[in-house]
Amino acid sequence: MEKVRQEIDSAVTELKDELQKNFNGKNYQRITETANFILNRSVEAGYLKGQYGALNILGGASFNICDYEKAQKYYLESINIAEKLKDDKKNAYGLNNIGIIFFTLQQFDKALVYYKKALELKLNYDDKSSISTSFSNIGLAYNMLKDSDKALDYFQRSLDIDRTQDNKYAICRDLNNIGLAWKDKGDPEKALEFFEESYSVSKKENSSKGMATTLTNIANLHIELNNTDLALDKALEGEKIALSINSDMHLLHFYRVLPEVYKKKNNYRKAFEYFEKFIKLKDKIFSEESNNKIFEMQIKYESEKKDRESELYRLKNEQLSVLNATKDKFFRIIHHDLLNPFTAIHTTSEFLEKHYDKIDENKRKNYIKNISAASERLLKLMDNLFAWVKTQTGQIDYKPEKVDLKEIIEHSVKLLGNNMHSKEIVTELKIPKKCFVIADKNMIDTIVRNLIANAIKFTHNKGSIAVTLKNHSGSVFFTVQDNGVGMEKDNLSKLFKVSETFSTPGTNDEKGTGLGLILVKEFLDINKGKIKVESKPGKGSRFTVELPAAK
């Protein structure tokens, strides 16, 4: 019997090592078949430790192919066995794995709870490698919760341990994580230094998974630094690696990066192509059925332990409703609002190419004007669409700072000057010389631009728009008021909901998606702001934004 247990332990160790370092779609079936064989043999032998090891391998393999439902099932079974064994070490490992699934589902507060439970158990025994993993995971959760200082502290603790253990795989992970924290702290050069060191170590260790992970971050950073060619090279290299190891999760990251790169290179067809790939793969990974089952299992497990109400299930169902509405909204946009300007540009330019010499000068100018208008609308829509996708995937960078709102407003008014001029709209600015808020500058710029553009759209020719700004009781109030078409009261509640289809043509038949105002609301939520809308049909609308004033 002892020999059988030794053989099982040896097989579990080898399989675990392969799963961690070089898992791919080709060896998935062999790994799971071997793990199931080990599990059955362990059950026959009554060897709980072997059962525990096999279940964790099955959970890890399922997680790597994004089958979170199966992963959760195996990890929960492994925790039950750990409790029977009264083994804190094994129990901690299972808790940590559940935390990872919550992290993947973007439940960062919940993930942090499980990570800390796992660490508490791990500190009772001297397993430095395992403690390092917990430090790393806790750091990641803090980083996603926008606490970069705490994240750096935990990442550095993890790196210190792994360097003393000469654990190259873990060192790659730690260097990558430290790069993420420095990026969020606003130091892209320092972040790139750590990312490139992580990639170099991963390449030397032949860790495809490590290389793919780091290439995602390197590509994103080069986008931020406007190194478009480098960003494209790194993203395409990463896509190739992700496809070779059949990693849908890594592939999803590259499908999110590549549309933005191609947009910056003005290759909108490629950007559109990768947008569709991103949404389809995201839908495949985070399917409604799978997510429901994951959370049902988790609720069942926790209710048996604490007999508590299933609040998590209610919350997840709400999130899934929004997810489905978001997906539907996205496809409405890409299949209608993106294709229309694409078609207009293609058709008109093709016609000009074939018949240029036969068309008189005035008509040529009119065709060129139409191409320019379609291109402008396409660019604005793409900007909003990219920003919106980032909010839906948790990838939006929130960097609060002291922002001069007067400067932002004047910039937006200047940027939209041609639109106002074409409709002969009079704009009145009532803003103080200086007015500062604490917010993310890029997000506030998007908010202001969208609100003023919205007012222009629904204001009649020779109408007027008033933009006011004032400080009051620790807040700054920014108001955009027009004397345009206005709205019915019943429609006001639909403006900021992705689940509602509400978009009407402007006074000059300007088309829209309703995405701009949805983005305004989401960015205000991130920046601790509020918005109020007042409107009367035929009289116009007034949008008032409240933001925290800078002290």
Q: For residue range 444-466, what is the model confidence (pLDDT) as tens digits?
A: 988 998 899 889 988 999 999 99
Rounded Cα gap, residues 62 and 31, in angstroms: 11
Rounded Cα gap, residues 67 and 246, in angstroms: 13
Q: Are 245 and 251 in contact (CB under 8 A)?
A: no
Residue 400 region by backbone torsions, left for phi larger than 0, else alpha for psi between -120 and 50, else beta: beta
Residue 307 is predicted with a pLDDT of 41
Residue 131 is predicted with a pLDDT of 92
Residue 512 is predicted with a pLDDT of 59
List residues bridging with 440 in a β-sheet: 400
Q: Please report where in the chains the tokens 């430790």 appear, as a residue.
A: 49
Residue 37 is predicted with a pLDDT of 92
Residue 311 is predicted with a pLDDT of 46
Q: Are 194 and 182 in contact (CB under 8 A)?
A: yes
Rounded Cα gap, residues 430 and 410, in angstroms: 11
Residue 215 is predicted with a pLDDT of 95
pTM value? 0.50
pLDDT less than 70: residues of the chain: 21-26, 286-344, 373-374, 376-378, 380-381, 384-396, 497-505, 509-514
Domain spans, the chain: 398-551
CATH superfamily, domain 398-551, is Histidine kinase-like ATPase, C-terminal domain (3.30.565.10)
Residue 161 is predicted with a pLDDT of 95
Residue 202 is predicted with a pLDDT of 93
Residue 355 structure tokens = 């018949």
- Determine the residue type at 76: L
pLDDT for 63-95, tens place per residue? 887 788 788 889 999 999 998 998 888 899 889
Q: Are 275 and 259 in contact (CB under 8 A)?
A: yes
Closest CA to 135 of 88, 106, 178, 101: 178
